[in-house]
Amino acid sequence: MNEEFKDLQSIQNLKGVGPKGESSLNNLGIFSISDAAFHLPFRYEDRSYITPITDASYQTPVLIEGEIMKSTVVFRGRRMLFSEIYDGTGKLTMRMFNFAMAQHKALEKGKMIRCYGTITPGPNGKQMIHPQYQVFEKEDSIEIEKNLTPIYPTTSGLQQNKLKKIIENSLEYCDKNNLLKEESEKKEYSKYGNLLETLKFLHKPPVETNLIELIEGKHPAQQVLIKEELVAHMLCAGILKNELEGRTGPSMTEISLREDDFLESLPFDLTNAQNKVWKEISGDLLDKIPMRRLLQGDVGSGKTLVGALAALHAQSNDYQTAILCPTEILAEQHLTSFSNWFEDLGINVMLLTGSAKAKERKQIVEHLAKGTIDILIGTHAIFQEGIEFKNLGLTIIDEQHRFGVHQRFSMLEKGGKENQSPHQLIMTATPIPRTLAMTVYGSLETSIIDELPPGRNPVQTSSRPDSYREKVIKRVEEVCLTGKRAYWVCTLIEDSDELEAQSAEELYKEISTALPKLKVGLVHGRLKKDQKDSVIEKFRKGDIQLLVCTTVIEVGVDVPEATLMIIENPERLGLSQLHQLRGRVGRKANTDSHCLLLYKEPLSGLAEERIKTMEATTDGFQIAEKDLELRGAGDIYGIRQSGLMDLKIANPIRDSNLLLDAQEEALELGKNDKDFAKTLVERWIGNRVDYSDS
């Protein structure tokens, strides 16, 4: 696609899209007009016929229509609006808790109303709570939907109807400009004519379409697209790339005695699990096939050390290692560990982050090219142009879920020699189901560290509502005065009306005042790097006893003396994030640690489940399973938010039956139809920057 055409296709040029709309659409991952065509409904409703009230059953949503008999506002503890509706067959009460007076006024006796919602049994018979409704005059008739009604995932500031209209416009635009019209028998679009028709079908399925199939993602029109998307992701995956291009990996056959020296120098022995995974990894490194290995291990299981062993091995074979971290804090933490470990071994470890000064950066660039840097630890800055390695043999990606397809990809591009691809080790504390891994990577070996270093006691977790706040503050004081250290985690930096979360800054003020005997520190993502560093350093040394912080500490901060953590507004966080955070405590051998979840009432059912799970277990694998279960297999957007990958329609858990087929097809396309392979990648993955770094 040429550049000019791309500009033309920018979503801002679509009818009905203003600057504000554009930014909301961008938030949904919609940048081009055809992106909008690919923004598919996540569910459908059948509003194609009116059900007589008397026939309407409970629990399944229905469309009903009738006359408003009366509307009243009553106070029963809280304000409520009741409207009585009669349709000649039966009576229904519409009940609302949140409403404007104007709404009350509009629901006038004698007018007609059409409601869509679920009927439940109420005190006066059938009722609908907060249905969607339309009021109209008796003499007017309003049309009934002729298709199933699509419901789209949307974002604040972009109403469902507006989004629907934009998508309709995008389909029209594609039609007029002959976009997305390729027909390919192979692609099974033929049933619908072409790709565009397939999309149109899914945006507006005829009423007779099997709704259950649609909801479960099993409709043939969906399956065609799902498979295509999976194929596109697999085409991007490292291992296929190796296979397709016949790349080899740097073979690191030299086994250095320094490995033993290094292990000797540690104050502890490797755990059995660390030994086991190191065998697996070192086996790969000896081989000529580029390693693509996922190293899973719960927080605190000692993944970093295993990564260090791999980097040492690479260095012994004259290869450089790049270590990619999602945050500066984590990168610095690793720099400290690696520098300590490798101090006496003559290995040169350097740090490159976004805050590097021009001069520093220049030096790093020089030394990298000369090969005098053995290990480069850094953040996204490593992806920048001009960062070239002399002989990159290994990339280690830490806490992988924060990085997207493109970055993993571009690290492979940074490979040392032509036709060679560096080994890649991906370390994560978030267990990734096999099926997901397969989609992200095409295929991937997995190593698991399934034990913690000895003496680690599970973190005891409990929860309290916000009303316990004062007691909690007192308790924190007691604990810290005995010489222990504590984190107090907030989910926002500044007060925001919208989010109501306790802000770290406010809290810092509050706590500092309430606890004059303690030294309290504050760290959040908006601090300058040196400020951040100095606060964390003080906390490490014990000059600060209580650290008020945001989720910036989620990954990597390693202060074993910290044994208490308070998490404010835990209801805002997903299970894996809570688990990550909690992993900052419980790091000291033979010491009890505690985590308190200080939540805001009322809790939603889901939030309550998450909190209960946190109280019940510290096992990362169990937590990950529960997480997927709570998200529900159909929750593609949940998976998307988890940052694992950016999928439009496929759900590798739900669609696991298509994975093998998709893999075969990806290989086939990659070999025999490179043009189409490219089209698919551009279509489904495009040029989106898909990392989520907070």
- As given in the structure block, the two tokens for residue 64 are 């009903």
- Supply the minimum distance, in Å, between the C-beta of residue 303 and ligand ADP: 3
Please report whether residue 610 would count as binding ligand ADP according to CB under 6 A: no
Q: x/- binding map, residues 414-433, to ligand ADP, per CB under 6 A?
A: ---------------x----
Report CA-CA distances (Å) from 683 to 510, 676, 680, 686, 687.
51, 10, 5, 6, 9
Give the residue with the Cβ less far from ligand ADP, 287 or 558: 558
- Supply the minimum distance, in Å, between the C-beta of residue 396 and ligand ADP: 11
Dihedral over Cα of 663, 426, 642, 413: its sign: negative
Please report whether residue 618 would count as binding ligand ADP according to CB under 6 A: no
- As given in the structure block, the two tokens for residue 240 are 């296929």
Distance CA 148, CA 245 (A): 45
- Supply the minimum distance, in Å, between the C-beta of residue 636 and ligand ADP: 29
Which parts of 205-304 are beta strand (E)?
292-297
Which parts of 325-479 are beta strand (E)?
349-352, 375-378, 392-398, 423-428, 445-449, 460-465
Distance CA 611, CA 463 (A): 7
Distance CA 40, CA 37 (A): 7
Collapsing DSSP states into helix, strand and coil, what is residue 79? strand
Distance CA 659, CA 670 (A): 16
Parallel, antiparallel or unpaired: strands 594-599 and 562-568: parallel
Give the residue with the Cβ less far from ligand ADP, 561 or 609: 561
Give the residue with the Cβ less far from ligand ADP, 451 or 673: 451
- Supply the minimum distance, in Å, between the C-beta of residue 590 and ligand ADP: 12
Give the residue with the Cβ less far from ligand ADP, 119 or 311: 311
Collapsing DSSP states into helix, strand and coil, what is residue 127? strand
Number of C-beta neighbours around residue 640 at 10 A: 18
- As given in the structure block, the two tokens for residue 609 are 């489940």
Q: x/- binding map, residues 158-197, to ligand ADP, per CB under 6 A?
A: ----------------------------------------
Give the residue with the Cβ less far from ligand ADP, 308 or 405: 308
- Supply the minimum distance, in Å, between the C-beta of residue 279 and ligand ADP: 15
Give the residue with the Cβ less far from ligand ADP, 124 or 340: 340
Report CA-CA distances (Å) from 541 to 516, 535, 681.
20, 10, 49
The one segment of 266-274, 475-483, 501-509, 540-548 that binds ligand ADP by CB under 6 A = 266-274
Q: Select from 247, 587, 631, 648 the one that contacts ligand ADP (CB under 6 A).
A: 587
Residue 385: CA atoms inside 13 Å, Cβ hemisphere, count? 0
- Supply the minimum distance, in Å, between the C-beta of residue 305 and ligand ADP: 5
Give the residue with the Cβ less far from ligand ADP, 506 or 558: 558
The number of residues making up the chain comes to 694
Beta-bridged to residue 11, according to DSSP, are none
Q: Select from 24, 32, 149, 274 the one that contacts ligand ADP (CB under 6 A).
A: 274
Cis ω on the peptide bond leading into residue 602 (within 30° of 0)?
Answer: yes
- Supply the minimum distance, in Å, between the C-beta of residue 415 and ligand ADP: 26
Give the residue with the Cβ less far from ligand ADP, 510 or 558: 558
Q: Select from 58, 97, 136, 268 the one that contacts ligand ADP (CB under 6 A).
A: 268
- Supply the minimum distance, in Å, between the C-beta of residue 134 and ligand ADP: 54
- Supply the minimum distance, in Å, between the C-beta of residue 456 and ligand ADP: 8
- Supply the minimum distance, in Å, between the C-beta of residue 345 and ligand ADP: 17
Report CA-CA distances (Å) from 392 to 337, 371, 376, 641.
21, 9, 10, 32
- As given in the structure block, the two tokens for residue 67 are 């006359």
Number of C-beta neighbours around residue 161 at 10 A: 8
Q: Select from 24, 271, 563, 642 the one that contacts ligand ADP (CB under 6 A).
A: 271
Beta-bridged to residue 296, according to DSSP, are 428, 448
Q: x/- binding map, residues 286-305, to ligand ADP, per CB under 6 A?
A: -----------x-xxxxxxx
- Supply the minimum distance, in Å, between the C-beta of residue 337 and ligand ADP: 7
- Supply the minimum distance, in Å, between the C-beta of residue 274 and ligand ADP: 6
Decide: 152 and 41 in contact? Cβ < 8 Å: yes
**Number of shown-chain residues binding ligand ADP (CB under 6 A):** 16
The residue sitting closest to ligand ADP, measured at its beta carbon, is 302
Those residues with Cβ within 8 angstroms of residue 400's Cβ, 6 or more apart along the chain or in another chain: 294, 426, 427, 428, 430
The one segment of 268-276, 525-533, 632-640, 660-668 that binds ligand ADP by CB under 6 A = 268-276
By CB under 6 A, what part of segment 478-517 binds ligand ADP? none
Please report whether residue 558 would count as binding ligand ADP according to CB under 6 A: yes
- Of 201, 149, 200, the closest CA to residue 179 belongs to 200
Collapsing DSSP states into helix, strand and coil, what is residue 691? coil
Residues at the contact surface with ligand ADP, assessed by CB under 6 A: 268, 270-271, 274, 297, 299-305, 429, 453, 558, 587
